[in-house]
Structures are given as C-alpha cells and as structure tokens.
Chain A
Amino acid sequence: MNWPITQPCAGRGIVSEQNNTFIIAAFAVTWVCVIGYAVHLYRARRVADARLREAQQTFGGRT
C-alpha cells in the first residue's frame, strides 16, 4: 500500500495535524453510503415483490 508509514506514538500525536474535519467527513461519507444503499435495497425489494404479486395474480403462478 502506498499510504505513509504508520507508527504509533506516545501521547496524542502532533495536535496541529489532527484534522478532525477530514476524519469526520470520511466516516460520514461511509455511513451515507451504507444507509443510502440499504434504503435502495429495501425499495428495490418492495418494487420487485409487488411485481411478482401482480404477475402471480394475473397469470396464476403456474410455469
């Protein structure tokens, strides 16, 4: 991987470099993706189920 070398340090690290905005943004973006996709999955399932029910009612479910 090409990220800079990671090493732990004692204490709280260099305070000036702790860009909390970026960290919060990263986790926020992740959760927007997770929740957004979960909603998408739920909606797609609901639409598909409705279509199947309709098809079964119209065509009797025989294949």
Chain B
Amino acid sequence: MGVSVDRLVAARVTAPRDPTPWIGVLGIVVLVAAQVYGVISSPPDRDMGHLQKIMYVHVPAAWNAMLAFLVVALASLRYLWKGRPADDLLAASAAEVGALLTGLTLALGMIWGKPTWGVWWTWEPRLTSTAVLFFMFVAYLILRSFVDDFERRAQWSAVVGLLGALNVPIVYMSVRWWRTLHQLQSSPMTLDSSYTWPLRVNAVAVMLLMAFAIVHRYRTAVTEYTADELADHAALRGEGNRV
C-alpha cells in the first residue's frame, strides 16, 4: 500500500486546481439543451399525451443509476484484487451518485405512474428491484459511515458492493416470478422512433453530469484521504503530539 499512497498524496499535493468544475457547468448546459430539445421536438403520445415527456428524465436517471452501480461493482472487485485505496474511493463516490440517481428514478417513476397507471406504486418487478437497489446503495453508504478504520471500511464495503451487485438480478428474477405466478400482465415496450433520439440525447447529458459528479466526488475523497495520510505519517514520525 505504501507506494500507491505516496503517489496519491504527491499527486494531490502538487495539483494546483481541479479543472473538472467546468465540465460540470458544461454538463448542466447540455442537460438544459437536451431537455428543451426533447420537450419541443417530440409529439404528444397517443395514450399519455405530454406525460410522455417525463420519460426524458426518468429513463436516463434509471439507466445511469445502473451504470453507477456497475462502476461500484467493478471498482470494488479491483480493490479486492489489487488493494489500492484509490479504487475504494472511486467505488464510494460512484455509490453516492448512484444512490441519488436511484432515488430520483423512484421519485420520477411515482410521479409518472400516478397519472398513467392511476397509482403511485405497483409491485412490478422493475420497480421493486429498483427499490431494493436503492436500499442496498443506502446500506452501503451507512456501512461506510459506521466504520472508521480505512482498510476495514474499504474491504468490507467492497464485499458488500459486490454481493449487492450479485443480488440485483436475483431480486429481479424472484420478483418477476412472484408476479407472473399471480397472472399479472406486463405490456411490451414499443418506442416510436420520434422519441428515441431525444431520449438518447438526454441519457448522454445525464451521463455526462454523472461522470462529472463521480470524478468531482472522487477527487474530494482523495483530498480528504491525503489530509488523513499526512496526519498519520506525521504521527508515525512522532510529530503527532504537536496538534
């Protein structure tokens, strides 16, 4: 762990300014443009009318939440494999953004479901497994806040993240079984071509913002980690008593 820590610390100490905030501003501008394009360009839906517009925020949030969870799983796996602190910090950052996106997906799904299906919530496989995903993200973050030792927190949360990732398809499958055995029809998805491009553009815009948020959060985590390391190294040299 020694070398990589020193490199991390050195990189953070020497880097003068983080250039990523401009990417965030760009991401917000792109998101505004994508939403305006989506709202203006697409015709109202035959059944839903303008309610279809909610798709442009709901679906990108859902897709990107999955992506964030994938990042958590991959970074966790790499942490268990290589033991580099950076991977743990990346997993934690992606988990925080992912939890936000999953929560947003659920909220938007409810707002969309009420006028179209007539209910705020239904025990449908996709909905239910998204809710479970949300709970697992939150449990992951709570676990991190309850463990103080760095190595222990990193190792444990990597394991919890991986097992959570393993659980998502299992939950989805079991809930689908639960519902289909009870004879619930699920409608097939057909998306008219006039909606696909606005949807894609919005998904990319949200992805850009998500990437920015994860990288920004990650660099903040590295900064915090560096500050802790400086204090630890000083304590090892016997200077800790000065503070």
Say whether A and B bind each other. yes
List residues of A whose CB falls within 8 A of some B CB: 1-10, 12-15, 17-20, 22-23, 25-27, 29-30, 33-34, 37-38, 41, 44-45, 48-49, 51-52, 54-56, 58-63
21 contacts between A and B (CB under 8 A): A1-B191, A2-B124, A2-B126, A2-B186, A2-B189, A3-B55, A5-B188, A8-B45, A9-B45, A13-B44, A13-B50, A14-B49, A22-B51, A23-B50, A23-B51, A23-B54, A26-B108, A48-B223, A51-B224, A52-B223, A58-B231
Given contacts A5-B187, A13-B49, A23-B53, contact A44 B220 (CB under 8 A): yes
Given contacts A3-B55, A52-B12, contact A18 B223 (CB under 8 A): no
Q: Is the CB of A7 within 8 A of B223?
A: no
Given contacts A3-B112, A55-B227, contact A9 B44 (CB under 8 A): yes
A-B contact count (CB 8 A): 169
A3 to B46, CA, bound (A): 13
- What A residues does B224 contact at CB under 8 A? 48, 51-52
Q: Is the CB of B223 within 8 A of A45?
A: yes
Is B167 an interface position by the 8 A CB rule? no
- What A residues does B132 contact at CB under 8 A? none
Q: Is the CB of B48 within 8 A of A34?
A: no
Given contacts A29-B104, A59-B231, contact A41 B216 (CB under 8 A): yes
For chain B, the count of residues having a C-beta within 8 Å of the partner chain is: 71
Besides A6-B47, A15-B49, 20 new A-B residue pairs in contact (Cβ under 8 A), listed by A number: A1-B59, A3-B116, A4-B47, A4-B116, A6-B55, A6-B190, A6-B192, A7-B47, A8-B44, A13-B45, A14-B49, A17-B48, A17-B115, A23-B50, A27-B35, A34-B209, A37-B213, A41-B213, A55-B228, A55-B231
Q: Report A59 CB to chain B, min CB distance, Å.
A: 4
Given contacts A6-B48, A22-B111, A41-B217, contact A51 B54 (CB under 8 A): no
Among B54, B58, B229, find the residue whose CB has the most chain A CB atoms closer than 10 A. Answer: B54
Q: Is the CB of A59 within 8 A of B100?
A: no
A6 to B194, CA, bound (A): 10
Is B6 an interface position by the 8 A CB rule? yes
Q: Report A1 CB to chain B, min CB distance, Å.
A: 4
Q: Is the CB of A7 within 8 A of B45?
A: yes
- What B residues does A33 contact at CB under 8 A? 100, 103-104
- Given B5, B187, B234, which contacts A2 in the complex, CB threshold below 8 Å? B187
Encode contact with A along B171-194: 1 for CB under 8 Å, 0 otherwise.
Answer: 000000000000000111111101
A34 to B107, CA, bound (A): 14
